[in-house]
């Protein structure tokens, strides 16, 4: 059971190369237990510790995920930086985490990326100006299509009700 929890924690939070490489940044610090130290599903770590993240670190990680899920990956283009596996997306997530840890609001962090990449970096553009077309055009197309189908059905019904003239 503990092995499963350790593996899940490694997948979710990632294992840093060393504690010094992540010093000063928020996130979980997890030490992997060698397989040789496992016996009967129980971890008998020889000096290894699993450090659980604090509530503040978990909250920062959640806020980082929320902001990262709203920004487009410049490499993948159709994927958020939260879901992208690229090095650039990882670096952008680290920038988001650092800026949120420094006290910036999510809007300020998004404004930073907009200043670097343009409004294109937002997965959901603000509904104003030309971007309003992204929100309005699908509704207009649906209404137009519905009207076209209704008019066609009405015409077919009228033609079916008309009696043939001799």
C-alpha span between 147 and 27 (Å, rounded)? 54
Output DSSP code: residue 98: H
C-alpha span between 85 and 83 (Å, rounded)? 7
C-alpha span between 72 and 92 (Å, rounded)? 10
| The model's pTM | 0.51
Where residue 73 falls (left for φ over 0; alpha for ψ -120 to 50; beta otherwise) is: beta
In sequence order, which residues have a C-beta less than 8 Å from that of residue 164 and are 6 or more positions away?
none
pLDDT in 10s for each residue of the chain, 166 residues: 555 566 555 555 554 443 333 434 444 444 444 444 444 444 444 556 777 778 888 898 999 999 999 999 888 878 899 998 999 999 999 999 999 999 999 999 999 999 998 888 888 777 777 777 777 889 999 999 999 999 999 989 888 777 666 5
Residue found by looking up tokens 């670190």 in the block: 57
Total residues found in the chain within this entry: 166
Domain 54-122 classification at class level: mainly alpha
C-alpha span between 76 and 78 (Å, rounded)? 6
* Burial class for 113, CB neighbours closer than 10 Å (0-12, 13-18, 19+): buried
C-alpha span between 45 and 43 (Å, rounded)? 6
């Amino acid at each position: 059971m503990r092995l499963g929890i350790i593996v899940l924690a490694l997948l979710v939070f990632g294992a840093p190369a060393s504690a010094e490489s992540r010093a000063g940044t928020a996130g979980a610090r997890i030490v992997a237990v060698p397989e040789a130290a496992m016996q009967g599903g129980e971890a008998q770590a020889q000096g290894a510790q699993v450090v659980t993240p604090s509530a503040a670190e978990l909250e920062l990680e959640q806020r980082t995920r929320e902001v990262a899920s709203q920004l487009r990956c410049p490499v993948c283009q159709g994927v958020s930086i939260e879901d992208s596996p690229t090095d650039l997306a990882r670096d952008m997530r680290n920038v988001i985490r650092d800026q949120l840890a420094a006290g910036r609001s999510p809007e300020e962090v998004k404004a930073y990326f907009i200043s670097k990449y343009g409004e294109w970096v937002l997965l959901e553009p603000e509904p104003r100006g030309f971007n309003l077309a992204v929100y309005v055009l699908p509704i207009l197309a649906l209404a137009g299509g519905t009207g076209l189908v209704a008019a066609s059905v009405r015409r077919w019904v009228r033609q079916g009700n008309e009696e043939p003239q001799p």
